[in-house]
Amino acid sequence: MAAEKERVCVTGAGGYVASWLVKDLLDRGYIVHGTVRDPGDKKNDHLKKLPNSAENLQLFKADLLDYDSLCAAISGCTGVFHVASPVPAPGAVVDLIEPAVIGTRNVLNASFNAKVKRVVVVSSTAAVKCNPSWPKDKAMDEECWSDTEFCKSNQPHYYLEQDYYLAKTIAEREALEYAERTGLDIVTVCPSIVLGPMLQPTLNTSSSMFLMVMKGGLESMENTEDPLVDVRDVAKALVLVYEKPEAKGRYLCTSYTIRRGTTVDNLKKLYPNYNYPKSFTEVDDHLNLTSQKLQNLGWKYRPIEDTLVSTVRNFQESGLL
């Protein structure tokens, strides 16, 4: 539990993972500084409705590329959770590398100057799994890094651009190098594909993909292996690595790896009337990620059935399904 009114900053507080993190921190008694682009925007209203938000949540107008705005938000905080980073919507053309890399650098510099005790940086398994030279019979763990040269010349995933893999890999490497260089206590967490109920009103990328699987009526879809983790379990992992003094370095955060066709079969048993893909094409993309290091720290994850049902119910309640 948080010490008496410990103050922490969460960047990109209105986002999918960050919203659940803010909720967990408020539930645990923290005072939270949340950075958003516009505190008055209605899309951030869900944060103001969270329990304990009236007294313990303060939203700051900030931009990752505006160092001074980050300094204002981080001032007085003992910890920082750097969650903000763009995830591209399918087909979107956006600059990913500058906000991820320069933004992370700005957050770390502001944290160092504010003398915070620990920074938790949210990376992604995109910074892990794009590595063709990793032994096929060995689970990808914290020692495995995406090969940036390979990412530049290959399309690692059909709906995420190379730049996303590059941005996450470069930003995370730089964060850990910054820790070595300056002594700032930095822990990184790499979630896989995040599913589960949304607190925010806008549709995030992974939820959008899940929705497309359920109602897109696609003729065919690749039967890829999807490493999945529940958004609520990611939030718990971030708090865990912040609060545990022994947490060090890098942590993969993933629960299950499941073929997309199997996920659809499970969904059809529970919700048979949606417009699922008509067929799947087989692909050779065996993926073996392990979160054993995080589990050794005390992290637990919920059953995949809980995640699927909670996600669908959330879509139904919000009118998306």
* Structure tokens, 57: 């949540």
pLDDT-based confidence at 86, cuts 50/70/90?
low
Q: Are 249 and 145 in contact, with CB atoms under 8 Å apart?
A: no
Task: Dump the DSSP string for 115-167.
Answer: T-SEEEEE--GGGTS--TTS-TTS-B-TT----HHHHHHS--BTTB-HHHHHH
CA–CA gap between residue 164 and residue 183 (Å, rounded)? 28
Structure confidence at residue 97 as a pLDDT band (50, 70, 90): confident
CA distance linking residue 176 with residue 152, whole number of Å: 22
pTM score, two decimals?
A: 0.93
207 against 86, higher pLDDT: 207
Query: Is the per-residue pLDDT at 94 higher than 70?
Result: no
- Given 5, 23, 43, 168, which residue is catalytic? 168
Residue 64 has, within 13 A of its CA and on its CB side, a CA count of 21
The H or E element spanning position 280 is: strand 280-281
Share of the chain above pLDDT 90, in %: 81
Integer angstrom CA distances of residue 126 from 148, 160, 163, 191, 296: 11, 9, 10, 9, 22
- Give dist(CA 210, CA 311) in Å, integer: 9
Distance CA 171, CA 123 (A): 8
Give pLDDT, residue 104.
Answer: 94
Better-predicted residue by pLDDT, 88 or 132: 132
Average pLDDT over residues 181-199: 97
Q: Kindly report the CATH number that applies to the domain delimited by 7-195+229-254+286-302.
A: 3.40.50.720
- DSSP lists the bridge partners of residue 193 as 228
Predicted local distance difference test score (pLDDT) of residue 58: 97
pLDDT attached to residue 53: 96
Q: Check pLDDT > 80 for residue 133.
A: yes
To the nearest 10°, report the CA torsion of 128, 130, 132, 133.
-30
Tokens of 61: 């107008």
Can you give the pLDDT at residue 157? 52
28 vs 30: CA distance, rounded Å: 6
CB 33 within 8 A of CB 77: yes
pLDDT of residue 294: 98
Question: Average pLDDT, stretch 73-97?
Answer: 77
Q: Is 168 a catalytic residue?
A: yes
115: left (phi over 0), alpha (psi -120 to 50) or beta: left
Residue 44 and residue 53 in contact, taking contact as beta carbons nearer than 8 Å:
no
Residue with tokens 């979630």: 191
pLDDT tens-place string over residues 239-258: 999 999 999 999 999 999 99
pLDDT tens profile 224-239: 999 999 999 999 999 9
> What does the pLDDT read at residue 31?
97
- As a whole number, the mean pLDDT across the chain is 91
From CA 311, how far away is CA 306, in angstroms rounded? 8
Q: Is the pLDDT confidence value at 159 over 50?
A: no
pLDDT of residue 160: 54
Give the residue carrying structure tokens 């750097």: 82
For range 103-118, the mean pLDDT:
97
Distance (Å, whole) CA 41 – CA 49: 14
Which of 127, 134, 74 is CA-nearest to residue 96?
Answer: 127
pLDDT, one tens digit per residue, over 20-30 is 999 999 999 99
Rounded Cα–Cα distance for residues 164 and 24 (Å): 27
Give the tens place of pLDDT for each residue, 290-314: 999 999 999 999 999 999 999 999 9
